[in-house]
Amino acid sequence: MIDKRVASLREAIAGIKSGAAVMIGGFGSSGIPFELIEALRLHGADDLTVISNNAGSHEIGIATLLRDRLVRKVVCTYPRSQGSVWFEKLYEEGAIELELMPQGTFAERMRAAGAGLGGFFTPTGYGTKLAEGKETREIDGVGYVLEPPLKADVALIKAHKGDKWGNLAYNTAGRNFNPVMAMAADMTIAEVEHIVELGELDPESVATPGIFVDRVVAQEGIV
Amino acid sequence: MIDKRVASLREAIAGIKSGAAVMIGGFGSSGIPFELIEALRLHGADDLTVISNNAGSHEIGIATLLRDRLVRKVVCTYPRSQGSVWFEKLYEEGAIELELMPQGTFAERMRAAGAGLGGFFTPTGYGTKLAEGKETREIDGVGYVLEPPLKADVALIKAHKGDKWGNLAYNTAGRNFNPVMAMAADMTIAEVEHIVELGELDPESVATPGIFVDRVVAQEGIV
Amino acid sequence: MTRLEPPQMAERLAQDIPDGSYVNLGIGMPVMVANYVPEGREVIYHSENGILGVGPTPEPGTEDPDLINAAKQYVTLIKGGCYFDTADSFAMMRGGHLDIAVLGGFQVSADGNLANWATDNEKYPPAVGGAMDLSVGAKTVYVLMRHTTKAGEPKILDACTYPLTGTGVVSRIYTDLAVLEITDEGPRVVELFGDNSFEDVQAVTGTRLLPPA
Amino acid sequence: MTRLEPPQMAERLAQDIPDGSYVNLGIGMPVMVANYVPEGREVIYHSENGILGVGPTPEPGTEDPDLINAAKQYVTLIKGGCYFDTADSFAMMRGGHLDIAVLGGFQVSADGNLANWATDNEKYPPAVGGAMDLSVGAKTVYVLMRHTTKAGEPKILDACTYPLTGTGVVSRIYTDLAVLEITDEGPRVVELFGDNSFEDVQAVTGTRLLPPA
């Protein structure tokens, strides 16, 4: 029997260790697993590496992990959103490490990890500061940068609907980084608005097949 | 106004030149643009490079292009299907060139072309005959082969439904190589079972966004 | 000297968006371009978070919390639009499928290098987002920016002093003073606004310009 | 000597497919394994043409012409199954997400190399399909093949003589005579069928075997 549903957010994030690399889906406020993030904050693990497009803003989501000083390093593309005061404060203090990369490279590195590739040549960033120290190559007159896969121990993702096999469907632009992160982590935990019966999801619009998901939890309304 | 519909198969394949590299979607008999292939056969272009998973079987589809000796080279993963008599005959005669690669490498090379990547390292084929002459590299103890992107002049693909902007939805496993081919060719021509009104396709299950498609044609029942 | 305001700058650029284009509008001034594309032209807007067919701002109360654009503003989806994930969205960008990207700029060099993601302030945390991917990926890159900084320093230069976004990527620059095209010989003025003279514009530019052909 | 027939070989292997596994069954003998997985185990079958949750053969007259498996036979989709394109399907395979791939084999070497896609007949056109991706990608690769060729030649060898599919990829070999596990020290016999002795099996094997532990 395959049943990936877990009964609570606490159970959903059980086992995440201090020092873990944690991918967190979402873009801006869209497709963010806010409840899993809150559960992670209460869970007690620290020294985390957070891999997410943004670095949180105001006093919600990833910003609360930063505020509580649970994060050692942020891997992202755009840490400086409006209201990203906690990131800015810690950065100024030198209390947080930042690995910055172009957004397409970020997504593609995670896809490469999920797809078992050893790396890829991208034209993005060639000739810029973000390619410094990286292997480059000219192919047919175009400059490319070699980028390695980007993996994580855990991915916290957010979907609209999920079933007990872990199949996920998203709402509009809430998809964003969630499907690639689901592929790229050793353990993928999905927060969903609705758990539905097996067979209820249209097999043509399952954007994350269950094989990539380890745990599915319904929102509890905690944030 | 964006209207990619064309009125006939003949118009759909207009402009394909002798010597062109033509991707053809489908796997086995699933998701194959049979009518576009027939139109291409009647069109008159020869010396073609056909890029497709299989090399046709019996007297239908790609096999008819081979039979009429319109194809100089086949790029594929599995030319030897049941009944692939024309491919076998031409191969034995030395009348056709074959470039063979693993199926995942084939799909990924087309995706790389569509995604603007310069190449990727894959573990598939490492240490085998299909990696001979290719650049290899060991990364974290695993052997990888560097594979370049695979482009084409034209892609002939098959979808279930399409609209005038070229958005496509597929039927069950008819998707297969069609979406990556749509990305990887300079001109993508889609044969669809049904042309539907704009907005009729579910925006969550458009597997090929219209941006990748140049022409859409409804089946005429010619094969 | 004639200096267009941002809406007028956006309006001028919008005239050069052809019917049937697939377009990505960067955060800031570029998003204003959508308001001025001449009627009768069908343009499909892409947003890098996974939307093709971005529509106007929703009516208050009808916002879909997940449906935002790259600037994190609520948007809608037009009929014929669709959704995809970020990897697919950047494949679309990097793979050369978008016709036009309109980007803001800190600096543009004579040979079309763009700097628009970081200044030389080391203390301020850098952020890059999708700018680099757009600059190398779109078939045509238009930069929409003021001709000079607030302090009057030129932004069109022999070489950028700020960190680069992409090299040799810019086709045209639409400023508050003029429209310039990057050619193999350097930037050429193709249009002067109001009564601006070539010399006026040259005087506030940090590289030698070519006069209108 | 006891020689299992293909259905019995498939049945034996099926006992080692755990509940909850994601499994890809290769063309030929491997697809028979699905018929023998013990009741009560939920196993999800993957087909490389873009299906997760492959179900049984459809009732005559209900076939969906697009819904075929990798062997190009009509199949169905089970409740909870889904579809994707080939690039995603092979990402799934290559990325190590499948628990088990069951493949046929021409030859397996003592160190787990697999040859199953081409012989040394140069005139016959080669075909590889998804075999190489499966062999490197699945967490565990089981090979299901007869112990010897029809001519009685050993297929388990010091080194493969046919072109390789993958190197060091095989975990276990299920033959008509025995079950063998590839260990760091070489192939170990873990089960002998019927009254087969270790010596019987060693006699038709082209490399030194380790006896059951």
The minimal CB distance from A173 to the residues C68, C87, C90 is found for C68
- Closest CA of chain A from C199, distance in Å: 33
- Closest CA of chain A from D130, distance in Å: 15
CB contact under 8 A, C49 and A173: yes
CB contact under 8 A, B123 and A121: no
- What pLDDT is attached to residue C185? 96
- What pLDDT is attached to residue C99? 98
CB contact under 8 A, B183 and C22: no
- What pLDDT is attached to residue A84? 86
In CATH terms, the fold of domain A9-218 is Glutaconate Coenzyme A-transferase (3.40.1080)
Whether B and D touch (3+ CB pairs < 8 Å), yes or no = yes
Which is the catalytic residue, given C5, C39, C48, C191? C48
User: Three-state DSSP class for B37?
Assistant: helix
> What distance in Å separates the CA atoms of residue A46 and residue A28, rounded to the nearest whole number?
24
**What's the half-sphere exposure (Cβ side, CA atoms, 13 Å) at C55?**
15
- What pLDDT is attached to residue A200? 98
Query: Do the beta carbons of residue B155 and residue B187 sit within 8 Å?
Result: yes
> What distance in Å separates the CA atoms of residue D133 and residue D117, rounded to the nearest whole number?
12
- What pLDDT is attached to residue C124? 77
Residues of D designated as active site: 48
Whether the CB of B209 is below 8 Å from some CB of chain C: the reply is yes
pLDDT, mean of residues B17-26: 98
Whether the CB of D166 is below 8 Å from some CB of chain B: the reply is yes
Question: Which residue of A lies nearest to B121 if distances are taken between CA atoms?
Answer: A118
Tokens of A71: 């994060």
Helix ranges, A20-177 (H): 34-43, 62-67, 85-93, 103-114
> What distance in Å separates the CA atoms of residue B6 and residue B219, rounded to the nearest whole number?
11
Considering chain C, what percentage of its residues have pLDDT values greater than 90? 94
Query: Do the beta carbons of residue A145 and residue A167 sit within 8 Å?
Result: no
- What pLDDT is attached to residue A83? 84
> What distance in Å separates the CA atoms of residue D180 and residue D212, rounded to the nearest whole number?
9
Kindly report, residue by residue over D122-148, the tens digit of the pLDDT.
Answer: 777 889 999 999 999 999 999 999 999
Residues of C in contact with A80 (CB under 8 A): 124-127
Asked if residue B172 has pLDDT above 90, the reply is yes
- What pLDDT is attached to residue A137? 98
User: Please, what is the Cα angle at B166 between B160 and B169, to 5 degrees?
Assistant: 30
User: Which residue carries 């089960």 as its tokens?
Assistant: D191
Model pTM score: 0.98
- Closest CA of chain C from B48, distance in Å: 25
Find, among A188, A152, A184, the residue nearest to A73 by Cα. Answer: A152
Signed CA dihedral, C127, C129, C130, C133: sign only: positive
User: Which residue ranges in chain A fall short of pLDDT 50?
Assistant: none
Enumerate neighbours of B (3 or more CB pairs within 8 A).
A, C, D
Find, among B12, B50, B46, the residue nearest to B152 by Cα. Answer: B50
Q: What's the Cα-to-Cα distance from A70 to each of A187, B167, D95, rounded to whole Å? A: 20, 44, 30
User: Three-state DSSP class for A10?
Assistant: helix
Asked if residue C122 has pLDDT above 80, the reply is no
- What pLDDT is attached to residue B80? 84
Q: Is C48 a catalytic residue?
A: yes
Q: What domains sit in chain C, N to C, each tagged with a CATH number?
A: 6-203 (3.40.1080.10)
- What pLDDT is attached to residue D79? 97
Per-residue pLDDT of chain D (213 residues; tens, 9 = 90+): 999 999 999 999 999 999 999 999 999 999 999 999 999 999 999 999 999 999 999 999 999 999 999 999 999 999 999 999 999 999 999 999 999 999 999 999 999 999 999 987 777 788 999 999 999 999 999 999 999 999 999 999 999 999 999 999 999 999 999 999 999 999 999 999 999 999 999 999 999 999 998
- Closest CA of chain B from D1, distance in Å: 35
Q: Give the start-end residues of each E strand in chain B.
A: 21-24, 48-51, 71-76, 97-100, 119-122, 136-139, 142-147, 152-162, 168-169, 185-195, 215-218
Q: Give the start-end residues of each E strand in chain D.
A: 22-25, 44-47, 51-55, 76-83, 100-103, 107-109, 114-115, 140-144, 156-157, 172-174, 178-183, 186-192
- What pLDDT is attached to residue C106? 97
Mean pLDDT value across chain C: 96
> What distance in Å separates the CA atoms of residue A12 and residue A33, rounded to the nearest whole number?
12
Whether the CB of C38 is below 8 Å from some CB of chain B: the reply is no
- What pLDDT is attached to residue B82? 78
Considering chain C, what percentage of its residues have pLDDT values greater than 70? 100
pLDDT, mean of residues C106-111: 98
Interface predicted TM-score (ipTM): 0.97
Asked if residue B101 has pLDDT above 80, the reply is yes
Residues of B in contact with D126 (CB under 8 A): 80, 98, 100
CB contact under 8 A, C49 and A98: no
Whether the CB of A169 is below 8 Å from some CB of chain C: the reply is no
Tokens of C90: 């950047």
User: Please, what is the Cα angle at D113 between B141 and B123, to 5 degrees?
Assistant: 40
Which B residues, 115 through 154, put their C-beta within 8 Å of a C-beta on chain D? Answer: 122-130, 143
CB contact under 8 A, B108 and A115: yes
B147 pLDDT band (50/70/90 cuts)? very high
Q: What's the Cα-to-Cα distance from D151 to each of D2, D105, D120, D196, rounded to whole Å? A: 17, 16, 16, 20
Whether the CB of C72 is below 8 Å from some CB of chain A: the reply is yes
When scoring B78, B106, B192, B219 by the number of chain D Cβ atoms within 10 A, the one with the most, hence best to mutate, is: B78
CB contact under 8 A, C52 and B211: yes
- What pLDDT is attached to residue C119? 84
- Closest CA of chain A from B119, distance in Å: 5
Q: Which bin fits A140, alpha (ψ -120 to 50), beta or left (φ > 0)? A: left
**What's the half-sphere exposure (Cβ side, CA atoms, 13 Å) at D188?**
10
Enumerate neighbours of A (3 or more CB pairs within 8 A).
B, C, D
- What pLDDT is attached to residue C3? 97
The minimal CB distance from D91 to the residues A164, A183, A201 is found for A183
- What pLDDT is attached to residue B210? 98
